[in-house]
Chain A
């Protein structure tokens, strides 16, 4: 489709909530930002955070007959995106969100998220996902997004544009060579990655 319509049209369909794309299109305050490849700046994330986020991502998109988010290194991807692309206020929501998620785990399952079983993690994140949906539905326009919404958006973006996600969960054809506008589809066929 036309380049200028690509993101905006999808945003339109979903009422401006293109998962993962919001941070790209929203205007942000200019600031001297830390960058993920700038070693002199104090890092936003601790060394262990990528592994922690990997487990959150894997709970959202688990390995099935195709690799999950952890195999796609989505945890590390999230740290890069939050560090480089998020405005400062959203970075804070995200970082605080990791703490809130840990507290919620202790409250619900009496243990840290990392020590929880896959079932316990899933039950917890389903609760938080519901909380995030309720919050997103009622929040004012200028309010920040819910931290779990951010995590989910980044997980989907990071996973489905990763090599395992695009080539194994979806179908990726680097050079289609032809275009057919109207072909048969049967339930179960995987979507094209772009």
Chain B
């Protein structure tokens, strides 16, 4: 095979890219997976994974230097001492916030599969049918029965622990044994079921942590350290490194190339096919070309849109896939930050052993089963019930041996839940390549709603220059916000959380209404949606770009609606299905 020529190119090595590489190579295709950042080798490069808490000089916290260096990451929990190297540099990778948008990224082999929350739920037909029924956005070109076997396929390989519940509102999957609830969670679950006549349920979270060994993949079962996001030396949670990458490597068909920023997809207007990609080597700054019959674009929803916007601009000024006018539009995330918590009396004689890398889940119940709200769609809750640690206030004891003796015992039980709300696809929620010009002057950027310090940003200047990243590449501008439907939903998210915990006997229940800025759910979706019609969608029902059928986009960009469940499992299933389709089309010589 000539140099730089492959059967397939995979752009990005995160959850969906890893799946594309595995499935393509297992079908016998020669594949190169291009990753913009550095390599992180499984186990060997998880440098902090076996550290004890006292080995972190700031015990995991953030220093002022870190706050200074990471103006975006500092806005939420990801900025921390323990896995800082897994988050990309905000300064090397700037973007423009027309409206505040929190973008938390991992630019390395494995992408965010290394740090993800691992909660894994299926969409159902109420999700796939909702847009059509309600006249929102466009209809999903797929229904549950088409994707269900692919959910089975990816769950069996990734390993999802969970309980079969037989709920009409949340399809069961191919589960490994579930993790156990704490005593208090079990009781709260029973009371919620009773008080709400079985219409609301609390179940154990479904998580991509294996509870039995996967010997054939060389993975050990979860050791309950709850240090997943440092990288797991046991390979106990699904990541590219622990699961799909070794499978792809085993075929002998995969080449992995880190430090490879794909700047554009090369397009042949005569054949109406992509021919390959152009790569900027992030270390040498040299440009390379790779060619292939099939291209899988898995750069994460916003960056995949960026790649398309930079491609075939001689034919479509706004890029490959822009002919519908929907590329970069319909940006979605889940809106979070609303919930409640309180104290549970009793159970002083109960405790638990181990650190469970999982929580509880309350599936969506709003706008289901005859319930009708003044907004569309709904939300689920995640949370947990546990005993307080030393960080409780112990207000009644001042200091000395009495304080110490009080704090070395576990505290009272607390129970808390937080909502994950569905965001609708709005055409006007969009990202685009920022072609405005800016001067050297910087200004302070504060959140217009909360007043929160969001760091410095450049001031527009007619005579200035276009914004670029460390490699001189243009940057994205984000013009995204949640709207009335989400605002109304958040009211229910708050009052329902309080109501449910109080009904379950939780005391001193306090609601919490944080800011729900989009992006911070880290579930970016929708920038190249699927649909039935090339006039209103970017991708067809097999994730193929309408204008270039040998380009498949199978990360969050394809999502036609967001659902309210954590989306990564859905990306896995659609990726495997798209590869299957790509391979059969290739054999028929349709690509």
Contacts and interface: CB of A to CB of B under 8 A. Distances in A.
B1 interface: no
B404 A85 contact: no
B63 A185 contact: no
A181 B356 contact: yes
A172 to B, nearest CB: 8
Nearest to A188: B409
Nearest to A174: B52
A58 to B, nearest CB: 10
Contact of B224 (A12, A125, A179): A179
B63 A33 contact: yes
Given A7-B77, A178-B224, A161 B53 contact: yes
Nearest to A91: B64
A60 B553 CA distance: 58
A92 interface: no
Contacts of B295: none
A178 B353 contact: yes
A4 to B, nearest CB: 6
B59 A9 contact: no
B12 to A, nearest CB: 22
Given A32-B68, A85-B58, A12 B510 contact: yes
Interface stretch (B18-26, B243-251, B341-349, B539-547): B341-349
B223 interface: yes
Interface in B382-440: 382-384, 386-393, 395, 398-401, 403-405, 407-411, 414, 416, 418
Contacts of B183: 181-182
A178 B220 CA distance: 12
Contacts of B222: 179
Contact of A180 (B67, B353, B405, B408): B353
B65 A13 contact: no
Interface in A147-172: 152, 156-158, 160-163, 166, 169-170, 172
Contacts of A87: 64
A30 B71 CA distance: 8
Interface in A103-134: 122, 125-126, 129-130, 133
B534 interface: no
B272 to A, nearest CB: 43
A143 interface: no
B61 interface: yes
A39 interface: no
Contact of A61 (B61, B352, B404, B414): B404
Given A13-B342, A30-B67, A191 B352 contact: no
Contact of A125 (B62, B399, B455): B399
Interface stretch (A14-22, A47-55, A93-101): A14-22
B369 interface: no
A172 B327 CA distance: 51
Contacts of A81: 58, 61
Contacts of A129: 398-399
A185 B54 contact: no
Interface residues of A, number: 84
Interface stretch (B174-182, B192-200, B299-307, B480-488): B174-182
B225 interface: yes
B50 to A, nearest CB: 8
Contacts of B408: 66, 169-170, 190-191
Contacts of A194: 53, 226, 355, 389
Contact of B225 (A25, A158, A175, A184): A175
Interface residues of B, number: 88
Interface in B206-243: 222-226, 228-229
B356 A122 contact: no
Given A9-B416, A35-B63, A181-B183, A2 B398 contact: no
A145 to B, nearest CB: 13
B119 A2 contact: yes
A61 to B, nearest CB: 5
Contact of A3 (B61, B77, B348): B77
A20 B203 CA distance: 32
A64 B400 CA distance: 10
A5 B404 CA distance: 27
A125 B181 CA distance: 41
A31 interface: yes
B80 interface: yes
Contacts of A32: 68
Given A29-B453, A62-B401, A157-B391, A185 B349 contact: yes
B119 A19 contact: no
B444 to A, nearest CB: 9
A1 interface: yes
A185 B418 contact: no
B189 to A, nearest CB: 12
Contact of B179 (A25, A31, A179): A179
Given A14-B393, A193-B53, A176 B353 contact: yes
A176 B223 CA distance: 6
A61 B62 CA distance: 25
Given A3-B77, A180-B354, A182-B182, A191 B410 contact: yes
Interface in B38-62: 52-54, 57-62
A165 to B, nearest CB: 8
A158 B59 contact: yes
A186 interface: yes
B59 A161 contact: yes
Contacts of A85: 58, 61-64
A28 B67 contact: yes
B68 A31 contact: yes
Contacts of B339: 9, 12
Contact of B389 (A31, A183, A191): A191
A118 B510 CA distance: 40
9 tightest A-B contacts by CB? Answer: A181-B180, A179-B354, A176-B354, A185-B351, A33-B64, A182-B183, A9-B416, A24-B61, A1-B384
30 contacts: A1-B226, A1-B356, A8-B512, A9-B414, A9-B416, A13-B414, A19-B391, A19-B392, A21-B61, A24-B80, A25-B77, A27-B75, A60-B400, A66-B408, A84-B58, A85-B58, A85-B61, A152-B399, A173-B354, A176-B225, A176-B355, A179-B355, A180-B352, A181-B180, A182-B181, A182-B186, A184-B351, A185-B348, A191-B409, A194-B53
Interface of B: 52-54, 57-65, 67-68, 71, 74-77, 80, 117, 119, 179-183, 185-186, 205, 222-226, 228-229, 336, 339-343, 348-356, 358-359, 382-384, 386-393, 395, 398-401, 403-405, 407-411, 414, 416, 418, 452-453, 455-456, 510, 512, 514
Given A20-B391, A31-B64, A68-B404, 11 more contacts: A12-B339, A12-B341, A19-B392, A32-B68, A33-B65, A126-B399, A160-B390, A181-B181, A181-B356, A189-B409, A191-B409
